[in-house]
Amino acid sequence: MNKKERRAILFSPKDNVATAVSDLNVGITASLLIKERKKEVLLKQAIKFGHKFSIKPINKGNPVIKYGEIIGLATEDIPEGYHVHIHNVESRRGRGDKEK
């Protein structure tokens, strides 16, 4: 793929989400390089610029990983190619609501 046309960015080979770098429609395939191996992810949902999608299934309660670090936990099972955001990820930090 031409660099200028790239659709998504993966920060670390440990990551289970990638970040869209243009608005991506349903049915588009995003190509990612994971440790020099090409991975194709078919998008089941539209992903807006800057938003994340799963590049492998993430089970409920499991960590969502970006930058090679845990950015939160999945609140439901997320199959590959789905939008990963506040509707299906919760933070583990600053949770005053859980202290009540």
Partner 1 sequence: MNILGYKREDGSVGFRNHVLVLPSVSCANKVAEEIANRIEGAVVIPHQCGCGQLGEDREQSIRVLVNVAANLNVAAVLVVGLGCEGIPADFLRDKILKFNKPVETVVIQKEGGSLKTIEKGTRIALRMVEESSEIKREPVNLSEITLGLKCGGSDSSSGISANPVLGFAVDSLIKHGGRAVFTETPEMIGAEHILAKRAANETVKKRILEVVSRFERKAISYGVDIRGANPAPGNIEGGLTTIEEKSLGAILKAGSGPIEQVIEYGERPGKKGVIFMDGTGYDPQSLGGLLACGAQITVFTTGRGNTCGTAIAPVIKVSSNNRLYESMRENIDFNAGTVVSGEETIQQAGQRLFELILKVASGKMTKAEILKDNAFDISRLGISI
Report d(CA 95, CA 6) in Å as an integer: 36
The verdict on 91 binding partner 1 (CB under 8 A) reads: yes
Of residues 30-69, those binding partner 1 (CB under 8 A)? 48-52, 64, 66-67, 69
The verdict on 95 binding partner 1 (CB under 8 A) reads: yes
CB 35 within 8 A of CB 5: no
Report d(CA 38, CA 69) in Å as an integer: 22
The verdict on 6 binding partner 1 (CB under 8 A) reads: yes
Can you give the binding site for partner 1, defined by CB under 8 A? 3-4, 6, 9, 19-21, 48-52, 64, 66-67, 69-72, 84-86, 89-97, 99-100
